Amino acid sequence: MAILNKNEKVGRYVVTFFIKQGSYAETYRVKDSLGKNFFLKLINCAKLHRSQFDEAGNVLELQIAKQLRHSNVTTYHDNGTLVLNGQKFIFLVFDFIVGETAAQYLAREHTCSVYHAKQIVSGVLNGLKFLHNLPRPVIHNELTIQNIMLDLSDRIVVPKIIDFGYARYIDQSNNAYINEGISPFYVASEAFNGIFSLQSDLFSVGAMLYHLLFGLPPYFTDLSPFQLNQTSLIDAALKVRKKPLKILEMNKFELDEQLINTVCKALSSDVDNRFKTADEFLDALDGKVKIQSEQSEKGKKMTSSSTSMKKEGNGFADVAGMTELKEQLQSDVIDLLQHSEQAKELGLFIPNGLLFYGPPGCGKTFFAEKFAEEAGLNYRYIKCSDVASPYIHGGQGKIAAIFDDARKNAPTILFFDEIDAMIKDRSRQTNVSEAGEVNEFLAQLNNCGQDGVLVIGATNKPTEIDNAALRAGRLELKYYIPQPDKETRKRMFELNLQKRKVDFGIDYERLALLTENYISADIKLIVDMAARLTFRRKERKITMAALEEVIGNSKPSISIEVIHQHEVIRDKFLGVSTDNKRKKVGFN
């Protein structure tokens, strides 16, 4: 039962409503005399552990809170003291954050893309960098997805570290760790033995990244037989850590070897093998440093299905519209794969390469992923940094290694995002190393289909690709991915809203009419912005009015001029004049 009641006055604040209760504190939303919202944390001093006080006997959380001034950390505002029923309480007031916790986001969305997982973790690491570089460095000690707020007050989501109840100074005496209420999956093993370091926090960030990517905490196990007390939970969790870390096969196109090795390094049981600083962790996430897979306790390499993973999912069922394109790819590629012996008798093999081109934001990458699911092939996502190298001809070796691995795991789809940057027109190049990389790419493309390797390239700039890559036998089949037509836009709104709470009376036909010339990414953003608008207004369901309001305040991110430029390129590839256009493949 909450200690404070609604409308009760606490200092110069009035309680709006109760949020949550912990072992020693309660959290409330409150307002000041101007009606501005804040978070108030009410702490029962009698229930604090000795490690939650500093050397002078002050409440440690208050002393640390006063130093919090960073965009990725909750902002301290005020404090005070209360005596209730003969017990001493202190309260801390923090700026109100419009948004949700990372845990709430994961529960609502059911999955987190690699992009958003990196975005969240990068923000947390920047916040940690601030804490770890204070004059007297602070360790948070309880970094979980429950203690990360996602600030949704602007178009860009800002992760913020909250709740410093278990925080401590790095040079503080090693008092026993407070176990009650702590998730054993997030805490570094050494912390349970009273050993604390900056790397303990970095382990927790690694656990957070794992949880966001895979939907479960690392070393997760069913602990129900052990749920007698917190000590039994910790013992069971530590026992599981003696086994190698499992890397789950997930439907995430950017889950590459670098990212998986980064997760494994962050969660290493050996402190010396972990990241030493938040900056090191950030550099690994950004691909600035190459992370190699470490040896497991049994002497084997930590395996990752990063080189190529079989795609599992709903395939084309998740793709709105594009009926003609789906049918053409079914006959051009998927049927050949599913009836390979019959095809070989006729001398047919899968194509060497496909090119998905068109305006940005129209779903080329998403479609390639769903195509891999539909085909049931191994799949590897490759971005520019995966083939970049600071060494002369180093990129050639990387390209060759990618294709060699794909042949070993055939049939495999290699998806090259922004392929124009990897096989630039050699007539415009003066760099010998870059020209060599293009030559290597072209050589690998030759007859790769016969080896069970299908290359898919996506680009917004097809005219910048070397002409030799576009000829027959290489990126031989070209598919234009345009902005969605009306029926597709209607279906996109339905797909984007189906897992959210929506009001009755959503007119999908009208939404499609209101968003002519909007691209796929625009429609997803409209739905997200309507959800945020609904949240800010404290409403429970997304309404038609909210969607229309967002549309009214937005415009297509791609201009008509850009669309026309891409259509001219499409007509050139199709070999038709603007006066005699063939029917285009894709949404329309």
- Cα 41 to Cα 15, 67, 93, 340, distances in angstroms: 11, 17, 6, 65
Task: Give 3-state DSSP helix, strand, coil % of the chain, rounded to 5.
Answer: 40, 15, 40
Query: SS3 of 125, please?
Result: helix
Of 59-68, 377-386, 504-513, the one with minimum mean pLDDT is 377-386
Q: What's 355's DSSP letter?
A: E
Of 34, 25, 32, nearest in space to 4 by CA = 25
pLDDT, tens digit, 9 for 90 and up, residues 494-553 = 988 988 999 988 999 999 999 999 988 899 899 999 999 999 999 999 999 999 999 999
- pLDDT given for residue 211 in this prediction: 92
Of the listed ranges 17-26, 289-298, 472-481, 538-547, the least confidently predicted one is 289-298
Q: What integer pLDDT is reported at residue 76 of this predicted model?
A: 95
Res 450: pLDDT: 84
**Cβ–Cβ under 8 Å, residues 292 and 261:** yes
User: Which has more pLDDT, 54 or 538?
Assistant: 538
Contacts (Cβ under 8 Å, ≥6 apart) of 439: 396
Mean pLDDT value across residues 419-448: 81
CA distance 59 to 64: 9
Dihedrals φ, ψ of 208, to 5°?
Answer: -65, -45
Rounded to whole angstroms, the Cα distance separating 532 from 509 reads 23
3-state secondary structure of 350: coil
Least confident window among 369-373, 387-391, 474-478, 544-548? 387-391
Q: Taking Cα atoms as reference points, which of 256, 219, 469, 501 lies closest to residue 379?
A: 256
Least confidently predicted of 88-97, 123-132, 255-264: 255-264
Alpha helices of 330-479 — where are they, by DSSP H?
Answer: 335-338, 340-345, 364-375, 384-387, 394-408, 432-445
Average of per-residue pLDDT across 325-343: 84
**What string of DSSP letters covers 295-323?**
BPTTSSB---TTS-EE--S-GGGGS-S-H
Q: Dihedral of CA 286/289/290/294: which sign?
A: negative
Helices (H) and strands (E) in the chain — how many of each? Answer: 19, 17
Asked if residue 469 has pLDDT above 80, the reply is yes
289: tokens are: 């440093």
**Residue 160 φ/ψ, nearest 5 degrees:** -135, 130
Q: Which of 477, 485, 403 is nearest to 445 (CA)?
A: 403
Name, in order, each residue with C-beta under 8 angstroms of 460's C-beta and a sequence gap of 6 or more: 357, 358, 359, 360, 418, 420
Residues 569-577: what's their mean pLDDT? 79
Query: 164 by DSSP, 3-state: which?
Result: coil
- 391's CB contacts (< 8 A; 6+ apart) are none
Q: Which structure tokens are listed for 293?
A: 């897979």
Q: Is 566 helix (H, G, I), strand (E, B) or coil?
A: helix
For residues 249 and 162, which has the higher predicted lDDT (pLDDT)?
162
Predicted pLDDT of residue 372: 86
Residue with tokens 């079914």: 330
Q: Is 389 helix (H, G, I), strand (E, B) or coil?
A: coil
DSSP single-letter state for residue 294 = P
Nearest partner of 554 among 585, 538, 532, judged by Cα = 532
> Are residues 522 and 553 in contact, defined by beta-carbon separation less than 8 angstroms?
no
Output the CA torsion sign for 372, 375, 378, 384.
negative
Structure tokens given for 56: 């002078």
Question: Cis ω on the peptide bond leading into residue 411 (within 30° of 0)?
Answer: yes
pLDDT digits (tens, 9 = 90+) for 444-462: 998 888 888 999 999 999 9
Percent of the chain residues past pLDDT 70, beyond the cut: 85
Contacts of residue 523, Cβ cutoff 8 Å, sequence gap at least 6: 484, 489, 492, 493, 496, 515
Question: Which of 35-39, 88-92, 114-118, 277-281 is the least confident region?
Answer: 114-118
Q: What is the pLDDT of residue 42?
A: 96
pLDDT in tens, 285-321: 988 888 876 543 333 333 333 445 555 667 888 887 7
| The CA-based dihedral angle spanning residues 30, 33, 37, 41, taken in that order and rounded to the nearest 10 degrees | -30
Beta-ladder partners of 43: 25, 90
Kind and range of the H or E run holding 31: strand 25-31
Quick one: tokens of 333? 């590629």
| Residues in contact with 431: Cβ distance below 8 Å, sequence separation at least 6, in sequence order | none
Distance, CA of 419 to CA of 398 (rounded, Å) = 15
* Backbone angle region of 299, left / alpha / beta, with phi > 0 → left and psi within -120 to 50 → alpha: left
Strands 87-95 and 76-84 turn out to be antiparallel
